[in-house]
Structure 1
Amino acid sequence: MADDVRTPTGADSTEESRELRERALKRLNDKRGLMAHGLAYVMVNLLLVAVWYAAGAHFFWPLFPLFGWGIGLAFHAWDVLWPEPGPDQVEAEMERLRRRSRHA
Protein backbone atom coordinates (compact mmCIF):
# COMPACT_ATOMS: atom_id res chain seq x y z
CA MET A 1 0.00 0.00 0.00
CA ALA A 2 1.17 3.55 -0.76
CA ASP A 3 0.13 4.75 2.71
CA ASP A 4 2.46 2.26 4.37
CA VAL A 5 5.65 3.27 2.54
CA ARG A 6 8.54 4.00 4.89
CA THR A 7 11.71 5.96 4.31
CA PRO A 8 15.11 4.42 5.14
CA THR A 9 15.08 6.23 8.51
CA GLY A 10 11.81 4.56 9.44
CA ALA A 11 9.72 7.73 9.30
CA ASP A 12 6.29 7.45 7.75
CA SER A 13 6.46 9.11 4.33
CA THR A 14 2.82 10.18 4.49
CA GLU A 15 3.49 11.99 7.78
CA GLU A 16 6.52 13.66 6.23
CA SER A 17 4.48 14.64 3.16
CA ARG A 18 1.73 16.04 5.36
CA GLU A 19 4.22 18.17 7.32
CA LEU A 20 5.87 19.35 4.12
CA ARG A 21 2.48 20.24 2.64
CA GLU A 22 1.53 22.22 5.76
CA ARG A 23 4.81 24.13 5.64
CA ALA A 24 4.37 24.82 1.91
CA LEU A 25 0.80 26.07 2.43
CA LYS A 26 1.89 28.33 5.29
CA ARG A 27 4.72 29.73 3.17
CA LEU A 28 2.38 30.37 0.22
CA ASN A 29 -0.17 32.07 2.51
CA ASP A 30 2.59 34.21 4.03
CA LYS A 31 3.71 35.29 0.55
CA ARG A 32 0.13 36.03 -0.44
CA GLY A 33 -0.30 38.14 2.69
CA LEU A 34 2.86 40.05 1.86
CA MET A 35 1.60 40.74 -1.66
CA ALA A 36 -1.72 42.00 -0.25
CA HIS A 37 0.18 44.22 2.20
CA GLY A 38 2.33 45.60 -0.62
CA LEU A 39 -0.70 46.26 -2.82
CA ALA A 40 -2.53 48.05 0.01
CA TYR A 41 0.61 50.14 0.67
CA VAL A 42 0.83 51.23 -2.96
CA MET A 43 -2.88 51.92 -3.43
CA VAL A 44 -3.40 53.87 -0.19
CA ASN A 45 -0.24 55.92 -0.66
CA LEU A 46 -1.15 56.72 -4.27
CA LEU A 47 -4.47 58.02 -2.94
CA LEU A 48 -2.66 60.12 -0.32
CA VAL A 49 -0.34 61.58 -2.98
CA ALA A 50 -3.39 62.38 -5.15
CA VAL A 51 -5.03 64.18 -2.20
CA TRP A 52 -1.79 66.09 -1.58
CA TYR A 53 -1.63 67.08 -5.25
CA ALA A 54 -5.30 68.10 -5.35
CA ALA A 55 -4.83 70.21 -2.22
CA GLY A 56 -2.17 72.36 -3.87
CA ALA A 57 1.00 70.27 -3.74
CA HIS A 58 2.69 72.28 -1.02
CA PHE A 59 4.64 70.50 1.72
CA PHE A 60 4.87 66.78 0.82
CA TRP A 61 3.09 65.42 3.91
CA PRO A 62 2.48 61.94 2.37
CA LEU A 63 6.14 61.34 3.19
CA PHE A 64 5.17 60.51 6.80
CA PRO A 65 2.77 57.63 6.09
CA LEU A 66 5.00 56.45 3.22
CA PHE A 67 7.98 56.22 5.53
CA GLY A 68 6.17 54.92 8.62
CA TRP A 69 4.15 52.26 6.85
CA GLY A 70 7.16 51.45 4.67
CA ILE A 71 9.08 50.40 7.79
CA GLY A 72 6.28 47.99 8.70
CA LEU A 73 6.17 46.65 5.15
CA ALA A 74 9.94 46.14 5.16
CA PHE A 75 9.75 44.10 8.38
CA HIS A 76 6.88 42.07 6.96
CA ALA A 77 8.93 41.36 3.82
CA TRP A 78 11.94 40.41 5.95
CA ASP A 79 9.82 37.97 7.96
CA VAL A 80 8.37 36.31 4.86
CA LEU A 81 11.37 36.32 2.53
CA TRP A 82 14.34 35.77 4.86
CA PRO A 83 15.21 32.06 4.84
CA GLU A 84 14.73 30.00 7.97
CA PRO A 85 17.93 28.75 9.61
CA GLY A 86 19.10 25.44 8.23
CA PRO A 87 20.16 22.43 10.31
CA ASP A 88 23.84 23.40 10.08
CA GLN A 89 23.13 26.89 11.41
CA VAL A 90 21.03 25.50 14.27
CA GLU A 91 23.76 23.00 15.20
CA ALA A 92 26.44 25.73 15.11
CA GLU A 93 24.34 27.96 17.37
CA MET A 94 23.72 25.09 19.78
CA GLU A 95 27.47 24.42 19.95
CA ARG A 96 28.16 28.11 20.57
CA LEU A 97 25.65 28.12 23.42
CA ARG A 98 27.19 24.94 24.89
CA ARG A 99 30.65 26.54 24.87
CA ARG A 100 29.28 29.72 26.39
CA SER A 101 27.52 27.86 29.24
CA ARG A 102 30.70 25.90 30.07
CA HIS A 103 32.68 29.10 30.49
CA ALA A 104 30.05 30.88 32.57
Structure 2
Amino acid sequence: MTITQEKIIKEIAEKEDINVATVRKVFKRAEKCIFAYLSSTTPTDNTVVKILDGLSLECKYIPEKEIHTYDNIQCESKIWTKPKITRYYNRKLNGYFD
Protein backbone atom coordinates (compact mmCIF):
# COMPACT_ATOMS: atom_id res chain seq x y z
CA MET A 1 0.00 0.00 0.00
CA THR A 2 1.30 3.44 -0.91
CA ILE A 3 -0.01 6.47 0.93
CA THR A 4 0.63 9.66 -1.02
CA GLN A 5 1.19 13.13 0.35
CA GLU A 6 -2.01 14.22 -1.38
CA LYS A 7 -4.03 11.58 0.48
CA ILE A 8 -2.55 12.70 3.80
CA ILE A 9 -3.34 16.34 2.97
CA LYS A 10 -6.96 15.51 2.17
CA GLU A 11 -7.34 13.40 5.31
CA ILE A 12 -5.92 16.15 7.55
CA ALA A 13 -8.18 18.75 5.89
CA GLU A 14 -11.23 16.56 6.37
CA LYS A 15 -10.56 15.52 9.99
CA GLU A 16 -9.49 18.98 11.17
CA ASP A 17 -12.11 20.82 9.12
CA ILE A 18 -9.49 22.92 7.32
CA ASN A 19 -9.41 23.97 3.68
CA VAL A 20 -7.33 21.54 1.55
CA ALA A 21 -5.46 24.47 -0.01
CA THR A 22 -4.38 25.66 3.44
CA VAL A 23 -3.06 22.24 4.42
CA ARG A 24 -1.26 21.99 1.08
CA LYS A 25 0.40 25.38 1.69
CA VAL A 26 1.55 24.24 5.14
CA PHE A 27 3.07 21.07 3.66
CA LYS A 28 4.85 23.03 0.93
CA ARG A 29 6.24 25.55 3.45
CA ALA A 30 7.38 22.71 5.74
CA GLU A 31 9.16 21.07 2.80
CA LYS A 32 10.92 24.34 1.93
CA CYS A 33 11.99 24.87 5.56
CA ILE A 34 13.32 21.31 5.87
CA PHE A 35 15.22 21.67 2.58
CA ALA A 36 16.73 24.96 3.71
CA TYR A 37 17.92 23.45 7.00
CA LEU A 38 19.39 20.37 5.32
CA SER A 39 21.11 22.34 2.57
CA SER A 40 22.78 24.56 5.17
CA THR A 41 24.89 21.64 6.42
CA THR A 42 28.57 22.58 6.67
CA PRO A 43 31.79 20.55 6.89
CA THR A 44 31.96 21.26 10.63
CA ASP A 45 28.27 20.91 11.54
CA ASN A 46 26.02 17.97 10.74
CA THR A 47 22.31 18.76 10.65
CA VAL A 48 19.46 16.74 12.16
CA VAL A 49 15.86 17.69 11.38
CA LYS A 50 13.32 15.96 13.62
CA ILE A 51 10.25 15.79 11.42
CA LEU A 52 8.01 13.76 13.74
CA ASP A 53 8.48 12.12 17.12
CA GLY A 54 10.74 9.21 16.29
CA LEU A 55 11.41 10.19 12.67
CA SER A 56 14.30 12.43 11.66
CA LEU A 57 16.62 13.26 8.79
CA GLU A 58 20.36 13.27 9.46
CA CYS A 59 22.50 15.22 7.06
CA LYS A 60 26.27 15.31 6.77
CA TYR A 61 28.75 17.02 4.50
CA ILE A 62 31.03 14.78 2.42
CA PRO A 63 34.13 16.68 1.28
CA GLU A 64 35.63 16.65 -2.19
CA LYS A 65 37.88 13.66 -2.84
CA GLU A 66 39.93 12.08 -5.57
CA ILE A 67 39.60 8.40 -6.47
CA HIS A 68 42.67 6.77 -7.97
CA THR A 69 41.84 3.97 -10.36
CA TYR A 70 43.15 3.61 -13.88
CA ASP A 71 41.83 7.19 -14.22
CA ASN A 72 41.93 9.89 -11.59
CA ILE A 73 38.33 10.76 -10.79
CA GLN A 74 37.55 13.95 -8.92
CA CYS A 75 34.39 13.63 -6.78
CA GLU A 76 32.83 16.92 -5.84
CA SER A 77 31.76 17.67 -2.29
CA LYS A 78 28.15 16.85 -1.48
CA ILE A 79 25.57 16.72 1.26
CA TRP A 80 24.29 13.25 2.14
CA THR A 81 20.98 12.73 3.96
CA LYS A 82 19.54 9.59 5.49
CA PRO A 83 16.33 8.98 7.41
CA LYS A 84 16.43 7.68 10.97
CA ILE A 85 13.62 5.98 12.86
CA THR A 86 14.05 5.51 16.60
CA ARG A 87 13.84 2.14 18.28
CA TYR A 88 11.00 3.48 20.44
CA TYR A 89 9.00 4.44 17.33
CA ASN A 90 9.48 0.96 15.83
CA ARG A 91 8.44 -0.71 19.08
CA LYS A 92 5.39 1.53 19.35
CA LEU A 93 4.51 0.69 15.74
CA ASN A 94 4.73 -3.03 16.53
CA GLY A 95 2.44 -2.75 19.55
CA TYR A 96 4.95 -3.01 22.39
CA PHE A 97 3.65 0.20 24.02
CA ASP A 98 -0.13 -0.05 23.88
TM-score, normalization: structure 2?
Answer: 0.31
Query: Quick check: which one's strand share is greater?
Result: 2
The one of the two structures with greater contact order (alpha-carbon pairs below 8 A, sep at least 6) is 1
Q: Which is higher, the Rg of structure 1 or of structure 2?
A: 1
User: Quick check: which one's helix share is greater?
Assistant: 1
Give the TM-score, by structure 1 length: 0.29
